[in-house]
């Protein structure tokens, strides 16, 4: 049922409870849930069972009192068909057919806005994802982060939030010097396996590409527009370093563009040091009294905030441990006004959560205990031709996002992007995912993105065969929609807004993929059970209105997760 209808039914229950609760201090919240078994009705409520003990009443008798009052309320006319008691005191509600059918006209009227909400209006949220080290091409784990992060950002946007997508570059660690050493070795003519090749160097072909462009004196630019020009001097490590970092940032930009993901802001770890943010955060922690010196190192009392042991902040050599700039970075987020922050990261970052949160708590600046939120994802295994693929020639040791897009589209980048984006959010983030390229290439029901997109294309073909003016169906008499498959499709369409709100609040964009598969399945079932272009004009127009509404919701849902809605397949 529609959200407005749900609220109206809740209001009927609240009105029914008012005389029952008179003289008490009870203020129960009425919750309506969708029954697992559709034969039980359209909504179920257990409020009578919740209140029975407190009111010292039999739950079924209390339920009967509520039912009688709901049925007697004239406000329910045209909305409620029946209210029944089941089991020990459950109350099942059946909604009138006309009320169920109303979703079609709501969708036709709202179009692209259907499912969107203003619940988050006036609130800011920042989502940080991908945040790859600028030391190599993006791997499939980064791809999963990109798909999850972008879809989750869109979910917040759909709820009315002001959303910022941010990419944090770890450009200040030891790995940056390793990158520079690797490029320098290649520029000097060495290769992996040579005695002169650095032990910890990066071995992918991309290192050779960077070295060649450096020697050629080329200029490259990253997303922030800052160019880096190579001087060609293979002995100048200080010139190689910024050129290599900018080169790879640009490469990652190209991969993200192919993936259809855009960021609003890029933040460099190096800027935290350059702007004194890291030192300032440490000084504030010391002033707050939550640190101590031991064995020549500076420690943070993270155990005061739930960590299993205290953590070193500043090592004996004066350098900071890796979680310190993370604390500084998230303090900056808070100071920028983002009081809700969400990080999408690999599950290997699990150990840093307690430390970062403890560091923020220890600043005594009023930052809440659960800040920031985290969505941790597990690894992606890539299968191709029936075998696991572990390496890429270009990357050297892993499969890249670019590889996956090219393979999954059979060379068609747009098709590959759709497949990869849909597949990578089609499971809960905290589950391991096996990406089967062979399945992504199939044009059968086994391929989930094809299955959903084909539902959209099928509707477009029906409308093309009809050849009429879609504006004429807005006045269709929807009472003709009485078949079981039509009822199922109506219920699924009506649940779309509630699904979006739930997916956003639970930080679970996989729910959108689940929903789209269910909607596509219901559309296909309807298509095979009921002919749309029948001779009966009233039935034809009603069914055309239904499929146009389904097309709209498919299009809305696919757009939200960054997947196209083709009109032909």
Question: How confident is the model over 549-569, as a mean pLDDT?
Answer: 98
Q: Specify the higher pLDDT residue, 349 or 518.
A: 518
Residue 36: its pLDDT value, please?
Answer: 85
* pLDDT(396) > 70: no
pLDDT digits (tens, 9 = 90+) for 413-429: 999 999 999 999 999 99
pLDDT above 70 covers a percentage of the chain that reads 99
Question: How confident is the model over 301-317, as a mean pLDDT?
Answer: 94
Residue 83: its pLDDT value, please?
Answer: 97
User: Binning pLDDT at 50, 70 and 90, where does residue 155 land?
Assistant: very high
- Cβ neighbors of 560 (< 8 A, separation 6 or more) are 151, 154, 155, 158, 500, 512
Residue 398: its pLDDT value, please?
Answer: 85
Maximum pairwise Cα distance, the chain: 89
* pLDDT(2) > 90: no
Question: How confident is the model over 426-438, as a mean pLDDT?
Answer: 97
Question: How confident is the model over 334-341, as a mean pLDDT?
Answer: 98
* pLDDT(365) > 80: yes
Q: How far apart are CA 435 and CA 381, in angstroms?
A: 6
pLDDT digits (tens, 9 = 90+) for 205-221: 999 999 999 999 999 99
Domains of the chain with bracketed CATH: 3-95 (3.30.1360.70), 101-118+445-560 (1.10.730.10), 129-274+378-441 (3.40.50.620)
Question: How confident is the model over 40-62, as a mean pLDDT?
Answer: 96
User: Binning pLDDT at 50, 70 and 90, where does residue 196 land?
Assistant: very high
Question: How confident is the model over 221-229, as a mean pLDDT?
Answer: 86
Residue 64: its pLDDT value, please?
Answer: 98
Whether residue 463 contacts residue 547, with contact meaning beta carbons closer than 8 Å, is answered with yes
Whether residue 546 contacts residue 459, with contact meaning beta carbons closer than 8 Å, is answered with no
To which residue do tokens 């203003």 refer? 118
Which residues partner with 227 through β-bridges? 221
* pLDDT(391) > 80: no
Residue 31: its pLDDT value, please?
Answer: 96
Residue 1: its pLDDT value, please?
Answer: 85
User: Binning pLDDT at 50, 70 and 90, where does residue 172 land?
Assistant: confident
Question: How confident is the model over 137-153, as a mean pLDDT?
Answer: 97
Give burial (CB, 10 Å; 0-12/13-18/19+) of 284: middle
Whether residue 42 contacts residue 491, with contact meaning beta carbons closer than 8 Å, is answered with yes
Nearest to 561 by CA among 498, 514, 506: 514
Average pLDDT of the residues of the chain: 96
Which residues partner with 489 through β-bridges? none
* pLDDT(397) > 80: no
Question: How confident is the model over 98-124, as a mean pLDDT?
Answer: 97
Residue 392: its pLDDT value, please?
Answer: 63
Residue 393: its pLDDT value, please?
Answer: 59
Question: How confident is the model over 151-167, as a mean pLDDT?
Answer: 99
pLDDT digits (tens, 9 = 90+) for 451-476: 999 999 999 999 999 999 999 999 99
Residue 379: its pLDDT value, please?
Answer: 94
Q: How many CB atoms lie within 10 A of CB 209?
A: 15
pLDDT digits (tens, 9 = 90+) for 52-96: 999 999 999 999 999 999 999 999 999 999 999 999 999 999 999
Helix (H) or strand (E) holding 314: strand 311-314
């Amino acid at each position: 049922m529609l959200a407005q209808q749900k609220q109206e039914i809740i209001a009927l229950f609240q009105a029914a409870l008012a005389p029952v609760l008179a003289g008490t201090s009870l203020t129960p919240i009425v919750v309506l849930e969708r029954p697992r078994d559709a034969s039980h009705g359209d909504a179920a409520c257990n409020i009578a069972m919740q209140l029975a003990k407190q009111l010292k009443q039999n739950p079924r008798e209390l339920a009967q009192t509520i039912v009688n009052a709901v049925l007697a309320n004239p406000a329910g006319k045209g909305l409620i068909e029946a209210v029944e008691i089941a089991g020990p005191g459950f109350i099942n509600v059946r909604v009138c057919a006309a009320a169920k059918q109303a979703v079609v006209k709501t969708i036709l009227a709202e179009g692209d806005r259907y499912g969107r909400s203003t619940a988050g209006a006036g609130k800011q949220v920042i989502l940080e994802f991908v945040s790859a080290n600028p030391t190599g091409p993006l791997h499939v784990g980064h791809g999963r982060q990109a798909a999850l992060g972008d879809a989750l950002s869109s979910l917040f946007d759909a709820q009315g939030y002001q959303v910022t997508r941010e990419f944090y570059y770890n450009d200040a660690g030891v790995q940056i010097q390793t990158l520079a050493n690797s490029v320098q070795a290649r520029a000097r003519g060495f290769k992996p396996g040579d005695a002169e090749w650095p032990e910890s160097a990066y071995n992918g072909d991309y290192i050779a590409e960077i070295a060649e462009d450096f020697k050629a004196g080329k200029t490259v630019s990253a997303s922030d527009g800052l160019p880096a020009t190579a001087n060609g001097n293979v002995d100048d490590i200080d010139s190689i370093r910024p050129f290599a970092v900018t080169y790879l940032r640009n490469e990652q930009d190209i991969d993200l563009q192919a993936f259809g993901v855009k960021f609003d802001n890029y933040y460099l770890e190096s800027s935290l040091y350059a702007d004194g943010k890291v030192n300032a955060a440490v000084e504030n922690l010391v002033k707050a009294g939550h640190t101590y010196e031991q064995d020549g190192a500076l420690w943070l009392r993270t155990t005061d905030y739930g960590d299993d042991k205290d953590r070193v902040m500043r090592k004996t050599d004066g350098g900071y441990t890796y979680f310190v700039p993370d604390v500084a970075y998230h303090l900056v987020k808070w100071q920028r006004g983002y009081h809700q922050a969400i990080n999408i990261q690999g599950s290997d970052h699990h150990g840093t959560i307690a430390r970062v949160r403890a560091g923020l708590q220890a600043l005594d600046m009023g930052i809440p205990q659960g800040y920031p939120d985290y969505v941790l994802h597990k690894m992606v295994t890539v299968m191709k031709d029936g075998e696991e693929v572990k390496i890429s020639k270009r990357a050297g040791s892993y499969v890249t996002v670019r590889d996956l897009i090219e393979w999954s589209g059979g060379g068609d980048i747009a098709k590959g992007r759709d497949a990869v984006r849909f597949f990578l959010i089609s499971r809960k983030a905290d589950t391991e995912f096996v990406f089967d390229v062979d399945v992504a290439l199939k044009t059968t029901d086994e391929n989930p993105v094809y299955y959903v997109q084909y539902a959209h294309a099928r509707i477009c073909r029906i409308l093309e065969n009809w050849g009429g003016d879609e504006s004429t169906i807005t006045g269709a008499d929807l009472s003709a929609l009485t078949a079981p498959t039509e009822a199922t499709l109506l219920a699924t369409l009506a649940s779309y807004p509630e699904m979006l709100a739930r997916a956003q609040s639970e930080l679970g964009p996989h729910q959108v993929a689940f929903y789209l598969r269910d909607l596509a399945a219901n559309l296909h079932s309807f298509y095979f059970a009921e002919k749309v272009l029948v001779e009966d004009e009233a039935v034809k127009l009603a069914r055309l209105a239904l499929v146009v509404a389904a097309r709209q919701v498919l299009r809305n849902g696919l757009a939200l997760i960054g997947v196209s809605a083709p009109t032909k397949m």
